[in-house]
A = this chain, B = another copy of it.
Amino acid sequence: MTDQLKNHILKFVTPPDNELQSFLNLMELEDIKNRDYLLKEGHYCKYQYFILKGCFRSFFIDRKGVEKVVNFGIEDWWLTNFDSFINQTISELNIQAAEDSKVLKISKSNLDHILRDSLELNRYFRIILEKVRIADQRRIQFMYNLSGEELYTVFNEHNPDFVQRVPQYMLASYLGFTPEFLSKIRRKKKQ
């Protein structure tokens, strides 16, 4: 099951075999049923997760009691609540499976341990974080600049398979509008 992660790492860096194997040995496999949680608000986020199969969303409940989706994750993505994971603070976010899923997880102490000595794995996580930063920056720019319909069009262009997989109400929440508005846009696109 760790071959998928191994291949992902080797796309970006080339750690010595023993280093890579030590890292993979620290990963624990977990099966998650659709709608089960990796993390619930009010708890500490103890792991970083690498998604082998399935789909997750992270969300919080706003003060009006409405779910707000802030992130999605699918195969070959890393997922965590960094604020809670790094700073050991209580999580305001939930991470929930949107399909039956499978993840590899690593605890903070094990990750810290491996990152103390591995040049290539530090490089790997740095490169991943640069990509995340780029995505976050684009997202913030889009939130400032695009109408709901344009937001959907751009998101669709960048993630066509993904849009088909995720329930409509989750996608609507992520893009910041109502499911009804999303249905309207989708109907318009099909015409």
- Using a CB–CB cutoff of 8 Å, the interface residues on chain A facing chain B are 60, 62-63, 68, 70, 81-83, 86-87, 92, 115, 117-119, 122-123, 125-126, 129-130, 132-134, 136-141, 143-145, 176
Contacts and interface: CB of A to CB of B under 8 A. Distances in A.
26 contacts: A60-B145, A62-B144, A70-B137, A70-B141, A81-B137, A82-B133, A82-B134, A82-B137, A83-B134, A83-B137, A83-B138, A86-B134, A92-B141, A115-B123, A118-B119, A119-B122, A122-B126, A125-B126, A126-B126, A126-B129, A129-B132, A129-B133, A133-B136, A136-B136, A139-B140, A140-B143
Contacts of A126: 115, 122, 125-126, 129
Interface of A: prevailing SS: helix
Contact of A119 (B117, B129, B136, B138): B117
Q: How many copies does the complex hold?
A: 2
Contact of A144 (B133, B141, B176): B176
